[in-house]
Structure 1
Amino acid sequence: MTLFSEAKYKFLPLSEGDDIPTQLFLHACSEIVPFFDVLGSTAFMPVKSDINGNIQRLQTQYDTAPDQFPTLQSIVDSEISAGTNKGSKSCTVGLLWLKRYNIT
């Protein structure tokens, strides 16, 4: 058994055109965080903190209106419409960084 084989949530393949459910993506991202604890080095603490911050940013947005943000695309579309998608604190930027950390 490995840390990843014991994960409750995993990144699963999607069919073309499928949107990514927000909650399932955030749960799967959260499963990556304990890996940095296993490494034991304080050098990885900034990465762990960044991942947790981006997860929390998206989770907070989702929690404001779960029916409005069932998918990651719905969050991005909302920020594009509001013109807030390029800000350093946007969910869109946080999502970009989460994807970069979670190579699947």
Structure 2
Amino acid sequence: MSTPKNDIKSKNFEDACDEHFIQFPQIIDGKINTEKFLDAARGVVQIVNKFGKLFAPVKFDMQGNIEKLTTKYVADKEKQSTLHDMIILEKATGKNLIATDALMWLRRGLHMVHLFFEKIVEDHKTGNTTEDLGAFLKRSYKEALEPYHGWMAQQLFGLLSRMVPTRTQLLQALADEQKNRDDTILQELESFLVNLRENIQNLVTLYLEHSLENDAKV
């Protein structure tokens, strides 16, 4: 039996996305595979690393939360094969909700990254691209993280928004310094954002359904 043309296109598109971005897992039976999610999250940390040294606090915060979740996961991979199983199992213990807190903050950080890249993709589609990405980062931070940050953290992100690479610099960094790859990178990025968005929305629902969201500022 021949493979439908649209399936070939879809497969090639996924392969292209995997060249520069590690895809977040498909949601199966309403749950997210823990190992695949953590692998993809590590990929995002590497992307943030390309923003420059000044973004080290963001990188290390995400990395720290990934490490906490990894430690929890390797303690019992079978029982915690999905993030949902991990968090519900931890909640049942009623104490030391380390993984629950780590996943909440990691999700918020991923949400900011998602919003930022989504704005870049949407901007590209207008045909009148913006070179200064500072406003995009500010708006993304305001929606995803600012409500949970105190004055010090807000000041830090205000500084970072002024230090974000230009559009040209960022896309070239994402392309591993290869030039004239903007269209390809943005196509890969748009594909990458689909599963990331679904993973974030799924986790938001999980935390709301089980009253796990903590709105306290840090």
Which of the five TM-score ranges fits, normalised by the shorter chain? 0.7 to 0.9
Cross-structure match for 2:101: 93
Q: What CA distance in whole angstroms lies between the structure 2 residues aligned with 1:41 and 1:97?
A: 21
Match of 1:68 among 51, 64, 79: 79
Q: What CA distance in whole angstroms lies between the structure 2 residues aligned with 1:83 and 1:52?
A: 25
Percent identical across equivalent pairs? 30
Q: Deviation string for 1:25-57 (max 9, x for gaps)?
A: 101100101122211132x11111111111010
Shift of 1:4: 7.7
1:102 is paired with a residue whose SS is: helix
Matched, 1:25 2:37: yes
Aligned partners of 2:31 and 2:82 also within 8 Å: yes
Q: What CA distance in whole angstroms lies between the structure 2 residues aligned with 1:62 and 1:50?
A: 19
Matched, 1:51 2:62: yes
Unmatched runs of 5 consecutive residues or more in structure 2: 1-16, 112-196, 198-218
TM, length-normalised to structure 2:
0.40
Q: What CA distance in whole angstroms lies between the structure 2 residues aligned with 1:12 and 1:74?
A: 16
TM, length-normalised to structure 1:
0.80
AA at the equivalent of 1:100:
R
In structure 2, relative to structure 1, the CA distance for the partners of 1:67 and 1:4 (3 Å cut) is: closer
Q: What CA distance in whole angstroms lies between the structure 2 residues aligned with 1:12 and 1:57?
A: 20
Q: What CA distance in whole angstroms lies between the structure 1 residues aligned with 2:86 and 2:106?
A: 14
Cross-structure match for 1:11: 24
Name the larger-Rg structure. 2
AA at the equivalent of 1:71:
T
Give the structure with the larger helix fraction: 2
Shift of 1:14: 2.8
Q: What CA distance in whole angstroms lies between the structure 2 residues aligned with 1:47 and 1:84?
A: 27
Aligned partners of 2:42 and 2:63 also within 8 Å: yes
2:27 is paired with a residue whose SS is: coil
